[in-house]
Amino acid sequence: MPVSTSVKTVDRLVRIIDSFSSSRLSWTLTELSEHLGLPKSTLHRFLCSLEAHGILRQDEESKQWRLGYRLFVWGNLAERSTALRDVARPVMRDLVAQTGETALLTVYHAREVVCVEKVESSHSVRLALDVGSRRPPHAGASSKVLMAYLPDEEVERVIKEQGLARLCANTITERGDLHAELALIREREYAQSVEETDVGAWGVATPIRDWDGEVVAAVGVAGPSSRFGEEVAQHYVTCCEEAARRISSALFARV
């Protein structure tokens, strides 16, 4: 049975990606064309497509091609998603006991923020966000704290392709306002939101970092605005910061 065109395309894409290694971190178009035996025009189309998805990137000065941020994201998700949940769950239970609010664990993937773990509070009024739920990265504390540490080009790509839709009364919908908010989050190292995703809901979140200081996830708490106040929020930020440190220490001590 002849191999379909789509399968051949996937095979070529895998061959392109597999050409990069610790001993060969970058290629020019000509070098890679010779290495793979592909016409430069055909290869260039593949490279541009991979670049559009963040899988490869081209250095503006040298014009050499390198692996992109998305492979790092995928690698972290594949290697640590299970370990992350297992490590985080008991810490999140402690966080709920400290704050009385719902604890959330989130990661960034494919221009969305995904809830990968949730520990409910004992209150009857809770946040309506389930494990597996996806949200845009520009709204909500757990989303914004992840967006704040994305590469600049990825932030711009999100804004261009996803837009800044208004989800609730206080959702940030202007590009300049969003950039100012992300800068503030990086300065404070936590994010806060009030009615950005749901009516009557608030949240705070802090980044979880790997051994190199790169942000790989976020942990936060959320609940109804009737239980929210500035002094309470600062206390919750401190609790989340400690939870993030505990998760990071336990997770990356394993690697």
Q: Is the per-residue pLDDT at 79 higher than 60?
A: no
Give long-range contacts, CB 8 A cutoff, 24+ apart: 123-126: 123/223, 123/227, 125/223, 125/224, 125/226, 126/102, 126/223
Q: Is the per-residue pLDDT at 68 higher than 60?
A: yes
pLDDT the model gives residue 4: 65
Give the mean model confidence (pLDDT) for residues 185-210: 95
Q: Which tokens sit at 12? A: 């070529």
pLDDT the model gives residue 229: 82
Q: Is the per-residue pLDDT at 255 higher than 70?
A: no
Angstrom distance (rounded) from CA 100 to CA 205: 15
pLDDT the model gives residue 225: 85
Instruction: Please report which confidence band the pLDDT of residue 71 belongs to, taking 50, 70 and 90 as the band edges.
Output: confident
pLDDT, tens digit (0-9, with 9 covering 90-100), for 153-190: 999 999 999 999 999 999 999 999 999 999 999 999 99
Of the candidates 234, 208, 236, the residue with the CA atom closest to the CA atom of residue 88: 208
User: Which has more pLDDT, 187 or 55?
Assistant: 187
